[in-house]
Amino acid sequence: MTLRTIDSLGPLAGKRVVVRCDLNVPLQDGAITDDGRVRASVPTLDALVAQGARVIVVSHLGRPDGAPEAKYSLAPVAARLDELLDASVAFATDTVGADAAAKVAALGDGEVLVLENLRFNPGETAKDDAERGAFAAQLAEFADVVVSDGFGVVHRKQASVYDLEQLRPSAAGLLIAAELDVLDRLTENPERPYAVVLGGSKVSDKLGVIEHLLPRVDTLLIGGGMLFTFLAAQGHKVGSSLLEADQIDTVKRYLSDAEERGVTIVLPTDVVVAASFSADADHVVAPADAIEETPFGASGLGLDIGPNTAATFAGYIRDSRTVFWNGPMGVFELAPFAAGTRAVADALTEVDGLSVVGGGDSAAAVRQLGFADDQFGHISTGGGASLEFLEGKHLPGLEVLGWQ
């Protein structure tokens, strides 16, 4: 497989390089609460600055409806980049308007400019090819070359991810190259034993991943809200826990398929069951096959894997040479239901091999629980993009960079 890299663009000193990053970070009262994606963009930006490029950073943040919204401004991100980069960072208050044009024109070698949120422009996410292309053409006016480094958006056919890269010489940044290297190791000849840990709320979000990875893994560990659909497929009652009844037959097929392939699917043996979805709700640990036998009866909610399950999962993880984890084991945002996720994260830090945290809620969880990024082999910046890659889907933002 081939991928155009920055080296293919030739010397970049004095050239205007538009870099599509993924700086879609969580904000609270205008402050960044998790700057992981900002820090992940630094190696590529520093490398371009070191070459003397004139670096123009573009990204989206949140889901504004094609018009400016102050709460989605990239101004706090530009300020954080100014602290992290070996260069001063300016900020334009629009994307392709007068302020952006003036500041691009004034940009010197080795300087960095962040443009305002791409999604303040309806053309960025337009389904209409012509509208999307017209916005990409406006962005291209600022660029001699384009570097695509927002791995979290490569599964989107959007103006800055797909169309712009066809209008100027383009290549992948260091972050995309690193993500692809890790994902390739997860799908092509992974070191064994190979364990995949899946959590999160819905089985339906992970169907493609299970389908694609089942022939490749040795062990599949199931936690999070999706575990209750697996328990229901085994005939157990799950109270008021999250359940996708329409996926029960699919899950039964996965269980049968895994048995035929010799793949071990590990389901929870105990669950933390609560009276309600609240941090101060009464809760007990119950056997996974006796959820409705708790004091809460059929109204009980399973909100985390239990301690025995957490210990079992940790054992499988530590004994593996390759581990991919996507999705929390419980409602980690509420302290009484974070233990399962913490146990999985802790075990991943002890893997003698490749340990991968699959972005999204999993990345947020490990940081919220106090783990450092360098305790893991790799923390992906692209939850949805990572999953689609592992499903074997075509990703337009990669294909436009030569990835086949």
Q: What is the pLDDT of residue 1?
A: 54
Which one of 39, 202, 318, 321 is the catalytic residue?
202
pLDDT for 203 equals: 83
pLDDT at 376 over 70: yes
Query: Does residue 5 carry a pLDDT above 90?
Result: yes
Q: Which of 97, 208, 353, 384 is catalytic?
A: 384
What are 145's strand-pairing partners?
17
Residue 37 among the catalytic residues: yes
Answer whether residue 360 shows pLDDT above 80.
no
pLDDT in tens, 208-263: 889 889 999 999 999 999 999 999 999 999 999 999 999 999 999 999 999 999 99
Mean pLDDT of the chain: 95
Q: Which of 15, 20, 37, 132 is catalytic?
A: 37
- Annotated active-site residue in 173, 223, 360, 397: 360
Q: Please give the annotated binding residues for ATP, written as ranges.
A: 206, 302, 333, 359-362
Respond yes or no: is residue 202 known to be catalytic: yes
237 has catalytic annotation: no
Nearest to 220 by CA among 268, 269, 188: 268
Beta pairing class for 89-91 and 112-114: parallel
- What is the distance between the alpha carbons of residues 381 and 180, in angstroms, rounded to a whole number? 11
pTM comes to 0.89
- pLDDT tens track for 276-303: 999 999 999 999 999 999 999 999 999 9
The encoded tokens of residue 298 equal 């059929």
CA 143, 148, 153: angle at the middle one, nearest 5?
125
| pLDDT for residue 307 | 98
Alpha carbons 47 and 42: distance in angstroms, whole number: 8
At 172-203, the pLDDT tens digits run 999 999 999 999 899 888 999 999 999 988 88
The rounded radius of gyration (Å) of the Cα atoms in the chain is 23
Structural domains in the chain, CATH included, are: 6-174 (3.40.50.1260), 184-391 (3.40.50.1260)
Q: Supply the pLDDT for residue 302.
A: 97
- Active site includes 15? no
